[in-house]
Structure 1
Amino acid sequence: MKLFFTRRGGWPVVAALALVGAGSAAFQAADSVPLGQILTRLQTFYTTAQPEISYLHTNQAAYASGETLWFKAYVVHDQTHQLDSLSRVLYVDMVTPTRQVVFRRTLALRGGLAEGDIVLPDTLTQGVYTLRAYTSWMRNAGEETFFTRRVPVWQASSLTSEMAPLPARAATLAAAARKNAKLLEAASKPEVKFFPEGGEYVAGLQTVVGVKAVTAAGQGLALNGLILDDKDQEIAVFTTPALGMNSFGFTPAAGRRYQARIKLPDGTTQTYPLPAVQASGWLLNVREIGPNYQVYIRHQGMAGAAAAPEALRLVAHVRGTPVYAGEGQITGAETYAASIPKAKLPAGIMHITLFDGQQVARAERLVFVPDPEGLRVTLTPDKARYQPREAITLDVDVRSAAGEPAPAELSLAIANLAGLPTVGTTDATVQSHLLLTSELRGYVDNPGYYFRNPTPATRKALDDLLLTQGWSRFVWKELLTETSPTAAYAFPAEQSITLGGQLLRPNLKPVPNGTLTLLQKKSNTINVGTANPEGYFLFVGFPGQDSIKVLLQARTEKGKANVLLKLNELWPAPVKLLPAPFLPAATNPAPEVVAYGQRSRRQQVLERQFRPDTTSGIVLRNVTIKGQRQAPPSGPRSIHGRANTVLETSKIPNADSYSNIFQLMQGRVAGVQVTPSGYSYQVLIRGVSSLTGSSTPLFLLDGMPLADADGLLGILPNTVERIEVLKGAEGAIYGSRGANGVIAVFTKRGNPNYDSSKEPSVGIAVRNLPTYYRAREFYAPRYEPTQPNNPKPDPRATTLYWLPRLSVPASGQARVIFYASDQGGSFRAVVEGISKTGQPALGETSMTVADVR
């Protein structure tokens, strides 16, 4: 066990030392040269920040409740796309449509690889969930750099369950259908936005405008529209295809305002404003012409100002590798032109940025560079059709575009083509993520479309996408300051499971150089260390093999106990989620849902019956839990009577492992929304009406009112007896202060009958550290020729085979042998992965298994 000091912002010095010496030395220039400064800062960012990309390959696109979701994780370096990145710990979450994390996995990365699974209980609510994967280091760049995948889960078990009376089941489904219809209606309202190429409309300068029309679920919309000026004169006409994106030419006039009048799918008309026209500014246009990307730059000065030369600098990079750098000047109506040859550009998104003479980024354009040297992955089954339980031999061949063998790390999934509906699914692949979506901010609907069949139409669609999508790695304004790009990083690059945080005073100011004592309860091991001047600390070296409960005690530098421990959250609460459609209600399911549900349920029952170690998600039913209002224990600490909800910490497993009471409350109190906000939290009680215009509830601590939620941050969960939530009539006793509801916290210390000598004081925290998840093994029986008639049924009907570790050696060839099941059908085999040189690998084929006679 070791304790590392951390810099301001929290990232460890040991990580900084590990970064020294990495990166490219291209385009070296003296710092006194502005263009050299720009390139140097760009390289410095990638050298020190070392961005990471995570990706999950799953066995299916959609699931029925009760099934197992199998996944393979890949983590690569952003610049090279090679495996074995900076981090050695990966976190995988599954998040509900209401932003609650329902499943968590902590995985040990070995060479940038890990595998896992999630058993989806058959009680899981139907909906489109979000699967996300991230490292601690990735959290410094924000949630939008996490890998995310939409995963629909269908409540297919209700189609075959006979455990509830039919009328009750019908009533429940009818209520769900009504609610679903309202959600679908709300989700149909479109969002339409306009994006001038380069970033701005400049009066009098013709440019290209990208338009993006999507539903609330992120799906594209085909629309027709007109561009009108403030005199209602028609300026331009446009349409959007099914993807919802297109572009059109536009020349804005000085002093004019513009809007779009659009005919919506329901026949109604709605207007949307365009961004304001700038009287002066820069224009950046990029066109793909022959073997080059042609860049055109124009500048419009202020009206009435004499034309004078304007200095400019142009920088282009792909994943931090500079591919073009030039500088010059432009006067009046001149056009500055530059050519960037396509021949030797790395594959991916090229960022082209225009700077003025003061090194201010004025315009930016994203352009996609295809990979002409992509890998060729071939899957060849030894037959096209197989009998039940017959051996299947699948040859895998990976080669470069030149035909040379290419070693790679792959994963293989073989699933029934008769699957669930495609509603809410995604066609994202390792190729589309590495080369496209990992570099973009925001949701991209079905990115695999742009790669499956490259044509002029798909290239145009991809260019329209990049006209309307943001970028995520850094902001030039921040990059060109003297501050280190990682100075504000708060999370370490974990080599093992860590325990970190900050020491604070009750007023939330840092405690400098405080002392820490860490006790591992199982082994009675004690470690002692000191925090840094900003109060940050980080314990590393936890093996993650067994469950570890630790007690951490903090004191000031002089040994005083008035210290609060603010521990880093291991799993960040979701703030943003992928836009997702609502699945149709189960009152009248589609035939494909019924058929799949029957196959899946039969498979789960057989697994449960014949495999004691089953991964089936079937759970016990007929358990009814009824909630009711509870009267709090009588005492002098409260003036109210009954509470709507009482949360007793003694009834919550591992309640003392939470960093604060807000984490404890998240997802446990119906109608109460708890959301992280910086270093604090926002609490909203639904169903209350405000008399003051505020939405903040009244917070009480042992009956005493607090100014805001921050007053409860220093209250550790292990000191809390209960939390009561009041709304409506129950909170009326507090007058207008309780109009938004009441959160009343009662501590153990405040109870006169409690013996405080047995309870840890402030400055002590207890946490259960996670263990590395040990992935289950996919059930894939072998049928020897001498024993073809095994009496046990083979239930595999949805996913026939899952092989998370498929290593292709230097020969570029590998062979996989597995067996067909008792269930016939057509199956699709897909391999995904990454080559040794960092290229995405993707291949597929199909095969058929005959039905049992």
Structure 2
Amino acid sequence: MRSHFLAAFSVLRPARSAGLALALSLAGPAAQAQFQGFTPTDSLSPAGRLARYEQRTPHEKLYLHLDRPVYLSGETMWFKVYAVDGTAARPLTLSSVAYVEVLDAQHQPVLQGKVALRNATGQGSFVLPSGLGAGTYTVRAYTSWMKNFGPDFFFHAAVTVINPAVASGALSQDSASYEAQFFPEGGNLVRGLTSTVAVKVTDKAGKGIAGAQGKVLNPSGAVVATFQTQRLGLGTFTLTPTAGPGAYTAEVALGKKLKISRKLPRVFEQGYVLHLDDTGPDQLAVTVSATTTLPETVFLLGHSRQQAAVALSAQLVNGRAQFVVSKAQLLEGVSHLTLFNGAQQPVCERLYFQRPTHALAVAVQPDKAQYTTRDKVLLQVSGADQQTPVAANLSMAVYRLDSLTTTQATAIDRYLWLTSDLKGAVENPDYYFTATGPEAAAAADNLMLTQGWSRFRWENVLAPAPPPFEFMPEPNGLVVQAQLLQAGTGRPRVGTLTYLASPSRITRLSTSLSDAKGRVKFEVPYLTGPRDIMLQTDAQQDTTCQITVLNPFSERYAEAVRPPFGLSARFQHDYAKRYLQAQVQNVFSGRYRNRYAAERVDSTSFFGRPDELYYLDKYTRFKVMEEVLREYVPGVLVRIQKGGYRLMVADKINQTVLSAAPMVLLDGVPVFNINHIMAINPLKIQRLEVMDSRYFHGLALYNGLVSFTTYKGDLEGFALDARVLVQQYEGVQRQREFYAPRYETDQEKTSRLPDLRNLLYWNPEISTTGAEARKLEFYTGDQAGRYLVVTQGLSSTGLAGSSRVVLEVKPAL
């Protein structure tokens, strides 16, 4: 989050390298014009190093459009994944796999899945187990690359699961009391310097409490400040500390009887304080106060999502300095205003929110004002940028509104421009995009004071050699990682060639050489669904290697605030009704749950077209494999030595015989003991392929290749070497198809099969061309009521937008 911030100050020195020009180009024209007047000290690393660091850290974000916020156990959760460049919000094709999890209150994953990303989007689903306890769960999503920056960067969303039949073990832990938190503007309280302090007061559910009265007491018990919370439980007061660390206490009154007491943050003896004033429609004033009385040049950098926008310098005079920041130069969304001291060390930070003026306007137009049950719904969907039609990729969900659906998920534009850059959950993010006037501006400023943060690690930039990233992107498909250790010692096995295969009629094999930590990485874009994978080294050359497949899911968790959950007696009838509806749907429509879209499969073997291909059913069948090879396969020579059988391949190009053993495969799995291959019943083999020359496969070199394929591609009971690691591994999800009945004929409309769907429609792939509106159709079910149509998505230029439309469904006469 801070990389441009450092790069901006680096480029203030006279140009010395190509890295300097690159950093300037990244900063943008507004910042470039201001950078030229700076003459900072040489305490920072060279500009080229900062620019190179910025190049190697693309800012990736994920957003999940979940089909609804409330589920019954046993229902299917559908979702669409959007991968975007965190700076410009444009679709980003850095990763081809997203990792999605459903976590309980103890951060234990109850469901996990890998979703394939194509053109920066993907779609997936989870069938919630019928035994899943009622409660609030967290859905989180991330890529392999995002794991380098910690779980706070992951996408998080809270969902509610209702299961009246099973007691919950996943309930959120209710707070024992209400909470009050205090946040000094800029970061710290400093003795003798006046600070604005933001306050946030919340109830047990994490909701802000407006109207809470509070007072601040000094060590003597005297009241030195008072406050009252405003909208969403946020407020501010002014304090000039004169006492030492931990000396101030706040007392908050929540009604007539309830009071809470909290310590204010520590007071520092030395430091800096920053204060921001919105002085008008065009400018911000940033005032700096410091305990030092010596002259000092301080620097202010404004940056958003790793892009610098404003860089200014000022001189401290008697411990004070002021900056004037033009709002037009700040980027839309959340801006970080960070103060550097004379040694160019970050000492204060303040956030400012500038509401985006450009957004994707998503228009959804129903064909009727009102519908009946089992009625056809026709929607016209389009996207526009300031009334100019644009191409966009959208997703849509239509679900029933009832007493159990009390909250709405954060829309994609709200997430990308606001909540993803803040710490913790933001209550009612829609308010900051729609409300106007002084009260809305004050609320947005209070939000920036109470939930701002910086997540960039400066030590990584300033280090003499930037640390290597532990996790690399997956641009071409799923990557399986494993670790090789020496049996007995536990030391890493370095430089060991390792093979990964998954038995199949399509011959595929991956190889990898272990690194200094004994780790191997296999790119396996063909793995879908649960599959058996087999990892091994050459058992005839390596007999002491232990292989462990590494968990691809992150085991680090963010401490996110989770709304509490509890079954309420007044909703008992609603719980029972929804539960009955879900059970009925499962009985009559459950057979449609696991319908999957047809997969496009590349049936070519990894080695391409073989030099020799034999379908053994076309030949007279022998009962011994040796006879098959000797009679029908001239390119493979069979030799018998003291250790048993040996195979050699004739190199037809060079008219010679390759003396070293070839790679021998059975359904894609390497077999190094030829005696085991020769013991196979030939009647189990359908196809035999031969490569008649040396073949390079990654870092491996094969002296020819002989591939046997069984009829089912499942090894036909072949006994693998005991040293082969066999493990079930979940590949990327297969695409489950959403099913909804149609009522086009009178017979279908009068069918006695009940249709009690809560989710009427789910479409994760809606493409608008900009030329004309996209037409979508579906049918209502048997439940009258109000249905919410949620549509959201992205344009190719980075415009995010969302739309909500309510459909009225009346009972048919």
- TM-score bucket (shorter structure): 0.7 to 0.9
Q: Which amino acid aligns with 1:214?
A: T
- C-alpha spacing 1:773/1:454, structure 2 compared with 1 (3 Å): farther
Contact persistence 1:316–1:350 (CA under 8 A): yes
The residue aligned with 1:551 is: 534
Among 367, 380, 387, the residue aligned to 2:352: 367
Aligned-partner Cα distance in 2 for 1:774–1:330: 62
Among 392, 399, 403, the residue aligned to 1:415: 399
Secondary structure at the aligned position of 2:413 is classed as helix
Contact persistence 1:389–1:788 (CA under 8 A): no
- C-alpha spacing 1:38/1:275, structure 2 compared with 1 (3 Å): farther
Among 794, 798, 809, the residue aligned to 1:834: 794
The residue aligned with 2:313 is: 327
The residue aligned with 1:428 is: 410
Higher mean Cα deviation, 785-794 or 765-774? 785-794
Aligned-partner Cα distance in 1 for 2:218–2:489: 55
The residue aligned with 1:499 is: 480
The C-alpha deviation readout for 1:358-413, integer Å capped at 9, x for no partner, is: 12101111111111222322222121112222222212232223x21122111111
The residue aligned with 2:96 is: 88
Among 784, 787, 791, the residue aligned to 1:824: 784
Note the residue ranges of structure 1 that are not aligned, 5 or more in a row: 1-20, 159-171, 617-756
The residue aligned with 2:270 is: 280
Q: Which amino acid aligns with 2:228?
A: T
Q: Which amino acid aligns with 1:253?
A: T
The residue aligned with 2:629 is: none
Please state if 1:609 is matched with 2:588: yes
Alpha-carbon offset, residue 225 of structure 1: 1.5
Aligned-partner Cα distance in 2 for 1:297–1:436: 25
The residue aligned with 1:213 is: 201
Among 70, 73, 78, the residue aligned to 2:78: 70
Aligned-partner Cα distance in 1 for 2:790–2:260: 44
- C-alpha spacing 1:534/1:607, structure 2 compared with 1 (3 Å): closer
Aligned-partner Cα distance in 1 for 2:53–2:474: 16
Aligned-partner Cα distance in 1 for 2:338–2:538: 50
The 5-angstrom pairing of residues 771-790 of structure 1 reads 771-784=731-744, 789-790=749-750
The 5-angstrom pairing of residues 515-526 of structure 1 reads 515-522=497-504
Secondary structure at the aligned position of 2:320 is classed as coil
Please state if 1:191 is matched with 2:179: yes
- C-alpha spacing 1:544/1:471, structure 2 compared with 1 (3 Å): farther
Aligned-partner Cα distance in 2 for 1:299–1:509: 55
| Rg larger in structure | 2
Q: Which amino acid aligns with 2:192?
A: G
The residue aligned with 1:4 is: none
Aligned-partner Cα distance in 2 for 1:466–1:43: 29
Q: Which amino acid aligns with 1:497?
A: L
Aligned-partner Cα distance in 2 for 1:44–1:442: 31
Among 781, 785, 801, the residue aligned to 2:761: 801
Query: Normalized against structure 1, the TM-score is what?
Result: 0.71
The residue aligned with 2:298 is: 312
Aligned-partner Cα distance in 2 for 1:210–1:610: 53
The C-alpha deviation readout for 1:101-157, integer Å capped at 9, x for no partner, is: 11122111111111122222332211011111111111111111111111111114x
Q: Which amino acid aligns with 2:220?
A: K
Contact persistence 2:162–2:575 (CA under 8 A): no
The C-alpha deviation readout for 1:146-178, integer Å capped at 9, x for no partner, is: 11111111114x4xxxxxxxxxxxxx97xx89x
Aligned-partner Cα distance in 2 for 1:211–1:472: 19
The residue aligned with 1:203 is: 191
Q: Which amino acid aligns with 2:57?
A: A
Please state if 1:579 is matched with 2:579: no
Q: Which amino acid aligns with 2:147?
A: R
Among 340, 343, 351, the residue aligned to 1:358: 343
Contact persistence 1:419–1:596 (CA under 8 A): no
Alpha-carbon offset, residue 566 of structure 1: 5.1
Higher mean Cα deviation, 607-616 or 63-72? 607-616
Alpha-carbon offset, residue 42 of structure 1: 6.2
The residue aligned with 1:478 is: 460
Contact persistence 2:510–2:523 (CA under 8 A): no
- C-alpha spacing 1:367/1:513, structure 2 compared with 1 (3 Å): same
Q: Which amino acid aligns with 1:230?
A: P
Q: Which amino acid aligns with 2:200?
A: K
Alpha-carbon offset, residue 496 of structure 1: 1.0
Alpha-carbon offset, residue 62 of structure 1: 0.9
The 5-angstrom pairing of residues 346-745 of structure 1 reads 346-401=331-386, 403-422=387-406, 425-471=407-453, 473-484=455-466, 487-504=468-485, 510-522=492-504, 527-545=510-528, 547-553=530-536, 563-565=545-547, 567-573=549-555, 575-576=557-558, 578-585=560-567, 588=569, 590-591=570-571, 594-595=573-574, 597-599=576-578, 601-609=580-588, 612-614=591-593
Alpha-carbon offset, residue 241 of structure 1: 3.9
Note the residue ranges of structure 2 that are not aligned, 5 or more in a row: 1-21, 596-718
Contact persistence 1:214–1:244 (CA under 8 A): yes
Among 220, 225, 230, the residue aligned to 2:219: 230
- C-alpha spacing 1:537/1:228, structure 2 compared with 1 (3 Å): same
Aligned-partner Cα distance in 1 for 2:232–2:120: 34
Q: Which amino acid aligns with 1:47?
A: Q
The 5-angstrom pairing of residues 261-276 of structure 1 reads 261-264=251-254, 267-276=257-266
Secondary structure at the aligned position of 1:852 is classed as coil
The residue aligned with 1:657 is: none
Please state if 1:24 is matched with 2:26: yes
Contact persistence 2:510–2:524 (CA under 8 A): no
The C-alpha deviation readout for 1:285-324, integer Å capped at 9, x for no partner, is: 222222334242434335xxxx321121221111112110
Contact persistence 2:274–2:289 (CA under 8 A): no
Contact persistence 1:204–1:252 (CA under 8 A): yes
Secondary structure at the aligned position of 1:313 is classed as strand
Count of aligned pairs between the two proteins: 659
The C-alpha deviation readout for 1:509-530, integer Å capped at 9, x for no partner, is: 5444344343444467655442
Aligned-partner Cα distance in 1 for 2:51–2:403: 46
Aligned-partner Cα distance in 1 for 2:243–2:290: 11
Contact persistence 1:286–1:293 (CA under 8 A): no
The residue aligned with 2:155 is: 147
The residue aligned with 1:169 is: none
Please state if 1:122 is matched with 2:113: no
- C-alpha spacing 1:297/1:606, structure 2 compared with 1 (3 Å): closer
The C-alpha deviation readout for 1:457-489, integer Å capped at 9, x for no partner, is: 2332222122122435412343333332x6243
Contact persistence 1:348–1:435 (CA under 8 A): yes
Contact persistence 2:534–2:725 (CA under 8 A): yes
Secondary structure at the aligned position of 2:137 is classed as strand
Alpha-carbon offset, residue 249 of structure 1: 1.6
Alpha-carbon offset, residue 504 of structure 1: 4.4
Query: Normalized against structure 2, the TM-score is what?
Result: 0.74
Secondary structure at the aligned position of 1:343 is classed as helix
Aligned-partner Cα distance in 1 for 2:322–2:478: 53
Higher mean Cα deviation, 784-793 or 767-776? 784-793
Q: Which amino acid aligns with 1:772?
A: V
The 5-angstrom pairing of residues 732-771 of structure 1 reads 760=722, 765-771=725-731
Identity %: 30
Alpha-carbon offset, residue 601 of structure 1: 2.2
Contact persistence 2:396–2:790 (CA under 8 A): yes
Among 223, 237, 262, the residue aligned to 1:248: 237
Contact persistence 2:284–2:327 (CA under 8 A): no
